[in-house]
Amino acid sequence: MSTNQGPLLSHFANLKQQYETSQFGMWSFLLTEVLFFGGLFTGYAVYRTMYYHAFVAASLHLDIFWGTFNTAVLIASSLTMALAVHAGHAGNNKAIRNYLIWTLVLGTVFLGVKCYEYMHKWHENLIPGEHFHFPELVGHGPELFFSFYFMMTGLHAVHMIIGEVALIIFIVRAHRGRYSVQYSTPIEIMGLYWHFVDLVWIFLFPFLYLVERHH
């Protein structure tokens, strides 16, 4: 709801209070996400210790080229997102829109590569379940690795998709000139979310793709 102060919602006293509340809300949400992903990383670390050699063998079935490529893509998307936030502080709606479009494109490239990797694992029968087949080793270690792989990268991809939907909304709003020097809070909040999702991948990449890769 807008007032004569600009895009101020009725339940806030002023734009500063609205901004600080939005920041606090997003940081609180990200803290719960840290706990959520932290549990997955902890579980992965425990089973990696228990089935170390199986996890090493399974990790070698991941394509390090595409993992590295996707890491570079997400780092680039963090840059364009940061530039969008900077443009928001300057009240430049055209620049906000353009940088968000680039962020959206890079995010879509990342998801496209991930789909390609998933399809490759499907053809190799490396999807956990009754058809899972890993000829190099017997036992449940490799299947546990790929269970964590699909769970962790899949949840990360879901967060990426949610972020892309939000980006589309903000691109449309920027195109309509909704932001100004006084008000670009949604872009800054979106930046926090996007950087967090990128940071999660920065941890996922070495955990999953680089298990004893130097051997």
- What stretches in the chain show pLDDT beneath 50? 1-5, 215
51, 162 contact by CB (below 8 A): no
- Domains observed in the chain: 37-209 (1.20.120.80)
Instruction: Calculate the alpha carbon distances from 77 to 34, 107, 161, 164, 214 in Å.
Output: 21, 7, 14, 12, 28
pLDDT at 10: 63
pLDDT at 183: 84
Beta bridge partners of residue 6, listed in sequence order: 3
pTM: 0.87
The C-alpha atoms of residue 62 and residue 47 are separated, in whole angstroms, by 18
Sign of the Cα torsion 109, 101, 159, 31 reads positive
pLDDT at 13: 61
pLDDT at 112: 96
189, 27 contact by CB (below 8 A): no
pLDDT at 8: 63
